[in-house]
Amino acid sequence: MRVTKINIYYGGRGLLEDPTIYVINKMTEVLTELRVEVERYNIFEDKNAIATLPSTLKGVDGVILATTVEWFGIGGYMQQFLDMCWLYADKQELAHVYMLPVVMATTYGERDAELNLVKAWETLGGIPITGLVAYVENLDEFEKNESYRHIIEKKTETLYRTIHQKTESLPTSNLAVKTSILKTRTIELTPQESEQLSKFVSDESYVKQQKEDIEELSAMFKQMLWTDEEDDVPAEKAKETDNDVQLSREKVDNATSDRYVSAFLSAFHPETDFSASYAIIITDENRILHIEVTGDKIKTFYAATEEADVTLRTTTRTLDDILKGKSAFHRGFMAGEISVKGKIKTIRMLDVLFPFQELR
């Protein structure tokens, strides 16, 4: 016989005087006696990985959402957890998961908080049942009250029976609203993709890298604006420059049978303490040009592998424009003429290492 599995998600702050902790401890005791597999998640302990918590809903039969009203509403931790469920949880699995809300309040608002949990779970597609709600003025008196303990035990048994009997509930307008109006404004993802994305979101190093990339992109835009102003030169000067570029290109082409290898060698401007490897996939020639830079040393060669710190994909036309000084790697990237894989900062270094405008 399959073991019933129930997860408890505690959204309080973990304070010793929190009455919600007493209630979920009692519920855990009853469920354990009923041979239920109980897993408890203290959200305040997993606050840096809340985005991954929806993955723990896989294979559960029921959940207990427990929170404390200390001054207003269900609290930030529980709200964040429900937000992540909306974004990353498998809604098809949630459709069969029963939810019992537990709301203990030390101030006014326990009924409103319970209603919010019920509405949220219905909107997610799950099945809520009547919860445990109480205002607790004195924790000692609450814990010593045998009637209260009996109510908690009976409510826990009701959850167990509801799950085993697969009790159905009448349809609600929340489900209709979810189907017709409430839709995520993101691309359609499979449950597996959503779970993977949630791991990225909770990864602080990944988020930090994304912020750095955004800053680098901003710097790119600023640099492009300044460069555009500098490029606004008289027509006669521009014509003269184009002629110079053509002469330089002819020298490069005559120097070796491969123009790209020679061009990168000629334009190389070493940077102290910088090392990186680049793989430039020239799509219309079906070749991969590799550039390895280590301090003041450089290697350029063709190979079949794409393995490198940064991989770029472009055409001979775009690459020729860069070599002639008419464009730059960061401009090609921003214009969509070059697709890249790697760190933005390392990509930008291509224009520092190879300032082709100096060939004019």
pLDDT of residue 169: 80
Please tell me the distance from the alpha carbon of residue 152 to that of residue 145, in angstroms, as a whole number. Answer: 11
Residue type, 5: K
Burial class (CB in 10 A: 0-12, 13-18, 19+), 239: exposed
Instruction: Centre a 10 Å sphere on the Cβ of residue 158 and count the other Cβ atoms it contains.
Output: 14
Q: Does domain 5-200 have CATH number 3.40.50.360?
A: yes
SS3 126: coil
Task: Please tell me which of 151-160, 198-207, 258-267, 339-348 the model is most confident about, judged by mean pLDDT.
Answer: 151-160
CATH H superfamily, domain 203-359: SCP2 sterol-binding domain (3.30.1050.10)
Instruction: Calculate the CA 207 to chain-centre distance.
Output: 7
pLDDT of residue 217: 60
Domain residue extents for the chain: 5-200, 203-359
Of the pLDDT bands very low, low, confident and very high (cuts 50, 70, 90), residue 126 is: very high
Is the per-residue pLDDT at 181 higher than 70? no
Tens digits of residue pLDDT in 223-238:
544 444 444 444 444 4
- Comparing C-alpha atoms, which of 356, 285, 284 is closest to residue 324? 356
pLDDT of residue 193: 60
Of the pLDDT bands very low, low, confident and very high (cuts 50, 70, 90), residue 331 is: confident
Structure tokens at 133: 């709600």
Q: Dihedral of CA 351/242/320/219: which sign? A: positive
Tens digits of residue pLDDT in 58-69:
999 999 999 999
In sequence order, the 6+-apart residues with CB closer than 8 A to the CB of 211 are none
CA angle in degrees (0–180, nearest 5) for 154-155-158: 90
Burial class (CB in 10 A: 0-12, 13-18, 19+), 166: exposed
Instruction: Centre a 10 Å sphere on the Cβ of residue 332 and count the other Cβ atoms it contains.
Output: 21
- Position with higher pLDDT, 242 vs 222: 222
pLDDT of residue 213: 65
Q: Dihedral of CA 350/352/358/360: which sign? A: positive
Structure tokens at 349: 């270094």
* Phi/psi at 11 (5° precision): -105, 10
Are 99 and 136 spatial neighbours (Cβ–Cβ below 8 Å)? no
* Phi/psi at 340 (5° precision): -135, 155
Please tell me the distance from the alpha carbon of residue 79 to that of residue 343, in angstroms, as a whole number. Answer: 34
Residue 145: which region, alpha, beta or left (left: phi > 0; alpha: psi -120 to 50)? beta
Lookup result for tokens 């040393």: 297
Residue 325: which region, alpha, beta or left (left: phi > 0; alpha: psi -120 to 50)? left
